[in-house]
Every structure is written in structure tokens, then in C-alpha cells.
Amino acid sequence: GGDAAQPRAAGRVRKRRKLRCRRSRGSALAAARGIRRVQILSLRRSLSYVIQGMANIESLNLSGCYNLTDNGLGHAFVQEIGSLRALNLSLCKQITDSSLGRIAQYLKGLEVLELGGCSNITNTGLLLIAWGLQRLKSLNLRSCRHLSDVGIGHLAGMTRSAAEGCLGLEQLTLQDCQKLTDLSLKHISRGLTGLRLLNLSFCGGISDAGLLHLSHMGSLRSLNLRSCDNISDTGIMHLAMGSLRLSGLDVSFCDKVGDQSLAYIAQGLDGLKSLSLCSCHISDDGINRMVRQMHGLRTLNIGQCVRITDKGLELIAEHLSQLTGIDLYGCTRITKRGLERITQLPCLKVLNLGLWQMTDSEKHQLPRPRPVRPPATTAAPALTRHAHVDPQHCRGRGGGHDAEPQARPPFPPVVANMRDHGVKETQRPLSVNCTVCEFV
């Protein structure tokens, strides 16, 4: 904090090996030679002034320092800093390829580089990274809007005459890189064969054909395709028919993904631990095709899948006994009966019921609303101490009028009566999120 200059505070900083500075005094920072992790919340002096004397620095977080420029970073990195392993420049919007050249030249030991929101970076910057940062294991390029297939080719070593590439990458985030196409996935599958996590969410330019390239990446464990509008059942078939060993898959908001995808997943991706299908075009029939083969599934997100009914929940409860978390946000066709069945799952810890809508008959069972208490003390009377409920931002719409600002609607009957439906008997903590529940 800002008191790092004081001897007592500086002692505490050395002990925990981490420094978060708003206002810095160079003498104090230079004296703190044991500091290895630095987060700068507001950069009011030059970066070189802040980090001078930190010979053993391993992690530097500059996320959100909007006034950091190429010039400022260039003055800070004038010689090799061999100890630095992680650099976070997320939302440093003035940073350009020039800074990446300096980083590639002097920070060759980097293993983690965060560039999310650095919207002025181009393919040239990726060429510089591919030239100088061969030890890189994790790279975040979220919303770097100028990047194209050419830049991904640089990373994957497709231009060996100019750069070796970052062939040791294990995590790559390309979220919202709108210019990328299936050719990028071809480059990735050929050059980044050790990749374990790939985030392609909101990449509207990739299609089912691109997933065929990824289907034989045996090291890949987590694949995020959220809001990739051109992904359909055919793409999921490609993934399932390959040699993938995925533990996590997210195809939420891919509205061309339907029940047939669940059949493919059951056939070829049955090792999944986490599956997200929010707002996909799936029904109870798809759930029926999937659950019998997915015994290891721990997390299932099917929020806003409006065709799911109590029948689907009963199938889930019957076959997915290892489930620890389920998202039912906005599943408007489920009722108290289905929710009661879900709460009996022996390992369930997290249940999201946001935007769960009640029928008129269930609404009449509700007690009168009570005033909101601080979150630390808010609790439903019938809940045991083994359950946690998050009612924040709940809105009631009884009789067409919003609830008073100082009052919250009561919990749905299945939540209020959870003591009678498994929580007490299982003696396990259960977090129930009723955020933005609407009672109609």
C-alpha cells in the first residue's frame, strides 16, 4: 500500500513478498529487495522509477494503468530482467507493437503475458513475441481486434524464417478476436501441440470446419467456444470423433448446438468434468441421450435452456450423482418438483436459480416479504446452517408492481423448504444463488 515507506509496513511487505502500490517512493521500493510480486494500481511516476532496485522481481501487474505508454515502458526495460516470469498489461490501451519489441528483447524469461484489451497490438507484435519469448506458457490476447490468422501463424511457428514461435504455449486466450478464421485453428493444431487451454469465445469467424483441425490435439483439456455463432452439431461431431481428452467444454450461446450434440458428447467426450450449454437448443431428449455416459461430470451449466423441464432434471439427478454444481438460470419450464429432485444430489454444492419463474399456484405458497438484512446475516428461516443462499438483487413482480427498495421477495418454496429435501440429511454445504429471481 502507500505506507510501504514506513519501516514497519515495509517489513510486512517483505514478509509476504508482494507489493501493491498506489503512490511510490523510490527509496523505499529500492530498499525492498525481497519483493518478487508487484501490482501497480495507479502509475503516477515513470515505470522505471517504480521498479528500480527490484532485482528479483518475478511478477509485474500493470493491469488498468491507462497512462502507460510505449515510451514509459521503453525507459523501464533497458536491460535484461532475467527473473521476471509474469507480466500483466491488460487494458493498457496505449501499448503498441513497439513495447512488445522491447519485451521480447529484454524479458526472455517470461512465462505469462497478459495483453487483454490492448487493442493497438497487431500481427507484427505477435511476430516479435514469437521471435523473443520462446519460454512463454500462457498468453492472453482478448479483444486484440487487429490480430488475424497471420499473427496466429507467427505464434505457431509457421514463419520459421522470421521467428521460431511460442511452441511451448499451454494456455492461449483469443476471446473476441473477430478477424480469426478456421486457418488460425489449423495453425494452432500444427504448431501449438502442447496447448492445454484454448479460449475462442466470441470468435465469430470460426466454423465447424475449424474444429476438425482441433480434434486431434491430445494435450487439449479445456476448450471455450462460447458465442461462436457458426458452431453447430457438426462441429461437436468433429470434436467427439477425434482423439481429444477434454475435461472442460463451453458451447454456451451457440444456438445451432442441439440435442444431437449431446449424443456426440456422450459418445466421444465422456471424460468431461465441466460442460456448459447455456442458451443452447437442447431439450429433455438431449439430456436423456447424454447423462448415461457422463458419470464423471461435476459441473453442468444449462441456464436459459428453455426447453428443459422437470423430466430433464430427474434424468440428471438419476444419472449424474457426482454433480457438484448446476446452473438453471432462466430455465422457465422447471417447477418445484424438478428442483426438489436436484437438491437431493449427494455431492451438490452450488445451485443457480437466477430468473427462475414460478407459477401462480406456487406464488400463493410464498410467505410475506421481509426487510433485507446485511449479507452476512441474511438467511431464510427454514434453512439449516449447512446451506447458503444469495438473494442479492432479487425482484418481485407481484400484482405488476416492483417490490419496495428496502424489501426482497421470499425464496421459492423449494429453497424455503430445503431442510425437508436433502440439505440437512446430507450434512453438506449448499450454495443457492437466487440472484434476479422473478416471481410471475
Work out the average pLDDT over 230-239.
Answer: 99
Ordered alpha helix ranges (H), 17-96: 26-31, 47-51, 70-76
Residue 43 has a pLDDT of 79
If one compares 40 and 269, the residue with the highest pLDDT of the two is 269
Residue 207 has a pLDDT of 98
CA atoms within 13 A on the CB side of 310: 7
pLDDT digits (tens, 9 = 90+) for 61-107: 999 999 999 999 999 999 999 999 999 999 999 999 999 999 999 99
Contact yes or no for 170/139 (Cβ under 8 A)? no
Distance separating alpha carbons of residues 58 and 86, to the nearest angstrom: 6
Residue 181 has a pLDDT of 99
Work out the average pLDDT over 422-433.
Answer: 54
User: pLDDT category, 407, cuts 50, 70, 90?
Assistant: very low
Closest CA to 252 of 197, 202, 313, 316: 202
Closest CA to 108 of 31, 168, 21, 184: 168
Residue 172 has pLDDT above 90, yes or no: yes
User: pLDDT category, 355, cuts 50, 70, 90?
Assistant: low
Q: Tell me the whole-structure pTM to 2 decimals.
A: 0.80
Ordered alpha helix ranges (H), 356-412: 360-363
Here the cell at position 439 is 416471481
User: How many other CB atoms are found less than 10 A from the CB of residue 140?
Assistant: 22
Enter the DSSP assignment of 403. P
Mean pLDDT across the chain, nearest whole number? 82
Distance separating alpha carbons of residues 6 and 10, to the nearest angstrom: 6
Distance separating alpha carbons of residues 315 and 125, to the nearest angstrom: 50
